[in-house]
């Protein structure tokens, strides 16, 4: 397991993993802190991108400059939207912790595994189930 995060906070009392998740209290504390830190980072990044996109660009008499600014704004707004979607995933994972339902696959109810959660603490599916979803999607596209 990687070293503890700076200023590590304990998991709030009453919050926890699903009984079948098989996570130790140390692993759970680590994952909780990763989620909280990632949530903070995403909120900051999303706000920064929206401020840049909506900020005053001043007077732009040149049509090329205006077109470039609109392109930049669209990019920043799309990027902020992706961050918002990830923020929703992080919030859902924190809600699962609050409900003591964290760490099990939403599709199979099998434990997700610490290694996968370590990489993406907001993940909803085990590797096997996620691969199954991707296979089904690719079959539907044909």
pLDDT, position 58: 65
> pLDDT digit string (tens) for 1-19?
555 555 789 999 999 999 9
Q: Give the pLDDT band (50/70/90) at residue 46.
A: confident
| Residues ≥6 apart with Cβ < 8 Å to 28 | 11, 16, 17, 97, 102
Query: For 67-96, what is each residue's pLDDT tens digit?
Result: 888 888 888 888 888 999 999 999 999 999
Instruction: Delineate the domains of the chain, giving CATH numbers in brackets.
Output: 25-141 (1.20.120.910)
78 vs 72: CA distance, rounded Å: 10
Q: Which residues pair with 104 in a beta bridge?
A: 111
In this model, does residue 107 exceed pLDDT 70?
A: yes
């Amino acid at each position: 397991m990687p070293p503890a995060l700076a200023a590590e906070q304990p998991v709030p009392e009453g919050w926890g993993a699903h009984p079948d998740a098989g996570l130790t209290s140390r692993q759970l504390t680590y994952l909780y802190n990763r989620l909280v830190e990632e949530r903070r980072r995403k909120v900051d990044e999303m706000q920064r991108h929206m401020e840049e996109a909506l900020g005053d660009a001043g007077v732009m008499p040149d049509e090329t400059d205006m077109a470039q600014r609109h392109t930049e704004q669209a990019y920043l707004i799309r990027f902020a939207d992706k961050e918002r979607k990830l923020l929703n995933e992080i919030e859902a994972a924190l809600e699962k912790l609050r409900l003591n339902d964290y760490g099990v696959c939403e599709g199979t109810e099998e434990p997700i595994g610490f290694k996968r959660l370590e990489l993406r603490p907001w993940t909803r599916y085990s590797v096997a189930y996620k691969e199954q979803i991707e296979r089904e999607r690719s079959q539907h596209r044909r």
